[in-house]
Amino acid sequence: MQYPEAIGRLIESFTKLPGIGPKTAIRLAFHVLDMEEDDVLTFAKALVSAKRDIKYCTVCGHITDVDPCAICTDSHRDETVVCVVQDSRDVIAMEKMREYRGKYHVLHGAISPMEGIGPEDINVSSLLTRLQENEAISEVILATNPNIEGEATSMYLSRLLKPTGIRVTRLAHGLPVGGDLEYADEVTLSRAMEGRREL
């Protein structure tokens, strides 16, 4: 005997989500049976509306429900600085810091020759158009991830942008705050030495 069809389909849908295996999918599906009907309806509507109403901002590529997004249209933000990140989640992380008041540009990925992802597969051309059209931009901060793909993307962008005369900067590498020197890996430690500053 298999599961009744309605719950079988739900288990299948849960299994398609990342990091959710068959056992977890079954547990989640059975949990749904025990949920209030209103909560299930809210969940179903949230799924559809997230997919239908959320678009990517045509200016910066960040997720948004209005186009251009709230950050791009915010006149209180500094439009001379653009921070380039790999993902919309990185924008949220930067915004949590509450210190950066410039604009963003979301690449939606990083250059990765291993996976066959080249510069044309990420949101680079719109960054160039943006820099050409908006002469106010004087600095591009490269905030891609501190790993191989992120570094390669940063390197590529810095070479591409240097000739335009715009200032190109990269987030500092070094010891994470609250970390332990003893447990820092060699590369991080060597970057922290390189980037040491006078007190």
Binding interface with its own copies (CB under 8 A) = 1, 3-7, 9-10, 12-13, 16-19, 24, 26-33, 35, 37, 39-54, 63-65, 70-71, 87-89, 91-92, 95
Q: How far is the CB of 159 from its own copies (least distance, A)?
A: 29
Q: How far apart are CA 146 and CA 190, in angstroms?
A: 14
Q: How far, in Å, are 93, 132, 188 from residue 135 at the CA level?
A: 27, 7, 36
* CB-nearer residue toward its own copies: 101 or 167: 101
Q: How far is the CB of 189 from its own copies (least distance, A)?
A: 27
Q: How far is the CB of 33 from its own copies (least distance, A)?
A: 6
* CB-nearer residue toward its own copies: 12 or 115: 12
Q: How far, in Å, are 56, 69, 78, 120, 199 from residue 74 at the CA level?
A: 17, 9, 9, 29, 36
Q: How far apart are CA 89 and CA 156, in angstroms?
A: 22
Q: How far is the CB of 31 from its own copies (least distance, A)?
A: 5
* CB-nearer residue toward its own copies: 31 or 162: 31
* CB-nearer residue toward its own copies: 103 or 130: 103
Residue 106 sits at φ, ψ, to 5 deg, of -100, 120
- Which residues lie closer than 8 Å to 170 by C-beta, 6 or more apart? 141, 142, 143, 154, 158
